[in-house]
A and B are shown apart, each in its own frame.
Chain A
Amino acid sequence: MTKSVLLVGVGGQGTILAGKLLTQGLMEAGYDVKMSEIHGMSQRGGSVSSHVRYGEKVESSTIEPGQADMLVSFEKMEALRELKYLKPDGIAVVNEHEMPSMPILTGDAVYPKNAIEEIQKHVKTTVLNATKMALELGNAKAANIILLGTIIKAMKLESIDWESIIKKQVKPAFVELNLKALQCGMNAVE
C-alpha cells in the first residue's frame, strides 16, 4: 500500500529540507518514492506544502483530499487549513508555533483561536512546540528536523538509518544538533 505524508507550513520554515531527508531515507530503504511540492512564491511568505508518497510502486505524486495518512503542520493555522487532506483515521502533528499572515498583521482578520481544539475533535493529534524545542536545543531552525522525527515515529520508520542520511545531507557543523532534534521529535509522539 502506498503511504502518503503531507508536510505543510510557511515559506522559509524548512519543509523542503525535511521532505528531502525523508524521501532520501525512504529511497535508501528500498521504497519507491515520489514527492511533489509547490514553491513558486514560497520565499514571499505564502503557504507551502510537500506531498510525500512511498510504497512498493507509487503512481501519483500528489496527495488528494482525504488521502493523507499523516499531516505534519509546521505552523498552527496551516494545520487547520489543510486538515481536509487527512484521512478520517489519519494522524495529525501540529507545531503550535503561530505565524500571522498579512491580513492578521494589518488587523483585517484575527488569528484562529480554535485551531488545535477543532483538529483534536476529529483526529488523533500530537501537539508540540517544535520551534521552542529547537530554540532550547540551540537553533530555532532545527524545528523542521524535530518534525521529521515525529514522522519517523508515527509512520514506524525507525529502522531506517537516519543518522547516516543526515550525515550525508547536512553540513557537518549541524549534524549533532540535527540528530538531537530528530530524537526529540521521535520522543514527542506516543
Chain B
Amino acid sequence: MKYLLTGDEAIARGAYEAGVHFASAYPGTPSTEILENLATYDEICAEWAPNEKVALESAIGASIAGGRAMASMKHVGLNVAADPFFTFAYTGVNGGTVIISADEPGQHSAQNEQDNRNYAKSAKVPMFEPANSQECRDMVIEGYRISEEYDCPVMIRMTTRVCHGKSIVECGERVEVPVREYKKDVKKYVCVPANAKGLRRNLELKLAKLKKYSESTPFNVEEFNTSKVGIIASGPCYHYAKEVFGEDASYLKLGFSFPMPDEKIREFCKKVEKIYIIEENDPYIEERVRYLGFSCHGKDLLPKYGEMTPDVIKKGFFGEETKTIQYDDTTVVDRPPTLCAGCPHRGFFYEVGKRKNVMVSGDIGCYSLGFAKPYNAIDLLLCMGGGFSIGHGAQKVFNMAKDNKMRVVSVLGDSTFLHSGVNSLMDVVYNNSNTISVILDNRITGMTGHQENPGTGYNAKGQEANMIDIEGIVKAMGIKHIRTIDPNNINEVKTVLDDFLALDEPSVIITKWPCALKKFSKEDKEQFAGAFTKSMTVNTDKCIGCKICMKSGCPAISFDAENKKAVIDGIQCVGCGVCSQLCPKDAIEWKEA
C-alpha cells in the first residue's frame, strides 16, 4: 500500500513493520512526530521520557531484555544521550535497537547546527542516512536486521527536510518478532573496565564486519552516467545534486555512511575525471575521500553551513543563480514569531523586562521569545535545562564585586525543568545562590506542539499517568522561599519579584497557568475554570491612544493610527487580561457575551 508520508511518519511506520516493542523519546523539532506516530500503534509501548538520555537508557534496557527498541531525538538531544550512546556501542544489543538523530542543517528551529555523523564515527555506531521517506521506512527495517546480525545499535541520521518532507512510501505489514530470550551475561553487559576492555577489542571485529556490509549493501549505490563528473552525496543532498546535474554526472549515493565503503569509493573515484562531494554540515565524506588519496571539490566551493539545496549547489559549482523576478521588496516587514495571544509567559516577561540591574538567564522553549521586543527581558540562552545553572554561575561572579547590584533571574518551563533543570536547581540550592529561579509552568511541552510530560498527568498514549508535583520537588530540595503565582496577575508578579529580590538566599517562583493553545485536561478544567472563555475590548471613549497596552506584545492588539485608538481583535483575544492591567485609563473591558 502506498502512502504519502513525512520522514518522521515513515520512520514510525518502518519501526511498526519491523515489529518494534518499545520506543522512547523526548520531543524536539524535527524529531517529535516520530514518537507521536509510534504512540498510535497498540502493538508498541511508546513513551515520552523526561529527557533524551533517559529515553535512550530505557531503550537500552528494553533491548537487553530482548525487545526491539527505538530512541529518537533531535541532534542536540544526542549530546544529552551521548553518555549511554558511546558505551552501548560496546555492549551491543539483545533485541535490535535503532537510534534516530534528527539534525538541523540551516537551523530552522535549533540553537546550533552540529553534524551528528561525527557521533556515529566517534562512538563507532553504524549509521544510515535516508534521502527520502521511502528510505526512512526501508532503513529502519534494515537497521533492525543488521543491529541483531552484527550485535550493535544502529543510528539513523535524518535532517529537517527528510523529517518534515513528504514523499510516497510503499508500505508493508507488521511482522511480529518474538522477544528474544534474556540470558545473564556480565561480560557483555557489565561495563567495568575488566569487561569493557574486551568489549572494546570486540567492537573492532564488529566494525570490520560492518565495513564489509558497507561495501555490499544496496544502500550504497553507484549510478554511472558519464566519466566527466562523479558526485558523492548522502541524505537529501543526493536528490539536490540530481536536480542540478541530472544525467550529466555519475553518482555514488551513500545511504550507509559509517563505516564508509572505502572500496566502492575508490572504484567510483577512479572512473571519473572530477569528483564533487555534496553533503550538509561538516566535510564528513570529503575528508574520507581525501584520506583515500583522491582530490575532490566540496567545501572549497560550497558553504560550510546551511542546507545544500539546488540553488546553493548551482551557485557553488557554476557561480550562477536562477533568474528571479527583480522587484521592490523594501516595504516588506519581518514576521518574527511571537508569544501567542493569551500566552501565560506574557505577564511575567512584561514585568521582569522592566527591571534594572537584572540579568535574565533563559532556556529552550516558547519563553525564549522573551528576549525579543517589546519585552527585551532575556539576556542569554544556550541549552535545555541550562537556565538555572548558567544563572547560578553568573550570580556567583556578580557577587564578587563590591556593592554588587546585579541580580540574576533564571527562567525555564515545566518540561525543561523536568528534563534537566531539576539538576540545575540542586546546584542553586546546594551552593547557596541568591538567584531567583522561575519555573514557567504552562502545563504542557509547548514549543514542540503540545506533548505530555511527567508533570501533565498523561502519557504519550493519552492515558492517565502520575502527575509529578513540581512545587513538591522544589520543597524537597530544601528551598525555603517558594511561591506559586498566576502570571496573568501583574501585581502578583511584581510583588513576588520585589520580595525575592530582597532575599539573600535561593528562591523559586512557579508561574502556573496553561498554554492558551492547550486542549484542557479534566484537571485543567477544574483548576483553571473559566480560563480563555472570554475576550476583551477597547472602550474607545476612554482610550487616549497612549499605546501602553501594546507593550504587552500581544498579537491581538493593534493600533488604529487614523483614530489614535488601540484595537483588540476579538477572534484572537482569549481574555488573559494582562493588557487591561497596563491601561492607565481602565479602557480595556470585558466584552459582553
**Could you tell me which A residues sit within 8 Å of B by CB distance?**
10-11, 23-24, 27, 32-41, 43-47, 58-62, 64-67, 77-78, 80-81, 83-86, 88, 100-115, 118-119, 121-123
Contact = CB atoms under 8 A, between A and B. Distances in A.
Contacts of A58: 167
B108 A38 contact: yes
Nearest to A27: B4
A67 B166 contact: no
Contact of B340 (A44, A62, A64): A44
A36 B30 CA distance: 12
B332 A81 contact: yes
B331 interface: yes
A121 B335 contact: no
Interface of B: 2, 4, 29-30, 108-109, 132, 160-161, 164-168, 236, 239-240, 242-243, 307, 309-311, 314, 321-325, 327-329, 331-340, 366, 369, 373-374, 449, 517, 547, 550, 553, 555, 557-559, 561
A171 to B, nearest CB: 16
A185 B438 CA distance: 49
Contacts of B324: 65-66, 84-86, 88
B323 A88 contact: yes
A109 B334 CA distance: 9
A174 to B, nearest CB: 19
A59 B165 CA distance: 12
B559 A105 contact: yes
Nearest to B166: A35
Contact of A114 (B161, B314, B328, B333): B328
Contact of B327 (A11, A32, A103, A121): A121
B332 A77 contact: yes
B311 A64 contact: yes
Nearest to A71: B325
The B interface is mostly helix, strand or loop, or mixed, namely loop
A115 B329 CA distance: 9
12 contacts: A33-B167, A34-B166, A36-B164, A44-B338, A46-B335, A67-B322, A77-B333, A83-B325, A103-B336, A105-B559, A118-B328, A118-B329
B323 A60 contact: no
Contacts of A27: 2, 4, 168
A151 to B, nearest CB: 16
Given A44-B340, A59-B243, A86 B325 contact: yes
A61 B331 contact: no
Nearest to A26: B4
Across chains A and B, which 9 residue pairs bring their CB atoms closest together, nearest first? A40-B109, A112-B331, A66-B322, A44-B337, A64-B311, A66-B324, A101-B335, A60-B243, A46-B337
B559 A102 contact: no
Given A107-B559, A118-B328, 9 more contacts: A27-B4, A27-B168, A39-B164, A64-B310, A65-B322, A66-B324, A81-B329, A83-B325, A112-B333
Contacts of B336: 46, 101-103
A64 B309 contact: yes
Nearest to B164: A37
Given A37-B164, A102-B336, A62 B309 contact: yes
Contacts of B557: 105
A111 B333 CA distance: 7
Contacts of A36: 161, 164-166
Contacts of A11: 337
Contacts of B310: 60, 62, 64
A24 B4 contact: yes
A23 B166 contact: yes
Name, among B108, B240, B310, B331, the residue most crowded by chain A CB atoms within 10 Å (CB to CB): B331
A106 B550 contact: yes
A41 B29 CA distance: 10
A87 B517 CA distance: 38
Contacts of B236: 60-61
A113 B331 contact: yes
B161 A61 contact: yes
A66 B559 CA distance: 36
B559 A122 contact: no
B4 A45 contact: no
B7 to A, nearest CB: 10
A111 B558 CA distance: 12
Contact of B517 (A43, A59, A77): A43
Contacts of A113: 331
A161 B332 CA distance: 38
A109 B561 CA distance: 12
Contact of A112 (B307, B323, B332, B369): B332
A107 B561 CA distance: 9
B333 A101 contact: yes
A102 B331 contact: no
Nearest to B322: A66
Contacts of A35: 4, 165-167
B164 A33 contact: no
Contacts of A100: 558
A37 B6 CA distance: 10
Contacts of A23: 4, 166
B334 A60 contact: no
Given A38-B108, A102-B336, A84 B329 contact: yes
B166 A105 contact: no
Name, among B2, B332, B558, B561, the residue most crowded by chain A CB atoms within 10 Å (CB to CB): B332
B325 A102 contact: no
Contacts of A121: 327
A38 B28 CA distance: 14
B543 to A, nearest CB: 15
B375 to A, nearest CB: 11
A27 B373 CA distance: 44
Contacts of B328: 114, 118
Name, among B29, B132, B311, B550, the residue most crowded by chain A CB atoms within 10 Å (CB to CB): B311
A147 to B, nearest CB: 19
A118 B327 contact: yes
Nearest to A78: B335
A38 B162 CA distance: 11
A104 to B, nearest CB: 6
